[in-house]
Amino acid sequence: MLDNTFVVVWEGVDGSGKTTLMRQTASRLASLGHTVETYKTPSQTPTGVFAKEYGNRPSTDPLTRMLLFLANTADDSSVLKRIAFEKSPDYIFIDRYYICSLVYGFALVSKRFGNPLDKQAFLQFFRLVEKIGSEVFVKPDLIVLVEVDSETRRRRAFQKEAGSDQVFERDDELQALVQQYYGFLEGELGDTFVRVLNEDSMLETVAKNLANKISAMKGW
């Protein structure tokens, strides 16, 4: 935990409903008397703005894009630590963190350059980033991977307001690769990693179950 704050990172492909589920779960915890702070990356900090503006250009190569978004999540770690220190919330919910930067980076490399999925290379790089960032990144107590079937994901992605990353959100092949790279982390992260299926009709039920699970993990 970050001081006495339980840190939950929310990950998932574009269109999984990750942000909606995160907010619903936060609302559920708040109704139980807990304090929850939420934070979204890429942020509106200088590194976040630049990462979105330059990194989301289709012409930007995958390595540059990955490093830009990774720089933002590293930079934002100081903001997250300050939130924990100044507000002392029971929970901090982070809407994507450094894992997302790595997963999308590898997925884009696989797609753009025709490289096959490489689990070992990905995990080696993941471990290296965690090692060199051990004093920088906030260590998550729980990582929630929000999943959804491909048809629902695509519908949600097309319903979203157009943004600079729209070309990535609507790329079915890329999103399938992203999902597979996320899956490589399951064995690596053990009990700190949980998958949830976010179906349209089950939002409140899934959020309630997650809130109970998160509360139990913190020991409430």
Would you say 15 is a known binding-site residue?
Answer: yes
Would you say 14 is a known binding-site residue?
Answer: yes
Would you say 19 is a known binding-site residue?
Answer: yes
Cβ atoms of residues 180 and 117 within 8 Å: yes
Q: What token pair was written down for 212?
A: 């109970």
Would you say 90 is a known binding-site residue?
Answer: no
Residue with tokens 């309630």: 208
- What is the DSSP secondary structure assignment for residue 77, as one 8-state letter? H
CA 112 to centroid of chain Cα atoms: 22
Strands of the chain (E only): list them: 6-12, 36-40, 91-95, 142-147, 193-197
First CA to last CA distance, the chain: 14
Instruction: Say how far apart CA 207 and CA 220 lie, in whole Å.
Output: 17
Instruction: Say how far apart CA 107 and CA 112 lie, in whole Å.
Output: 9
Binding residues: 12-19
Binding residues for ATP: 12-19
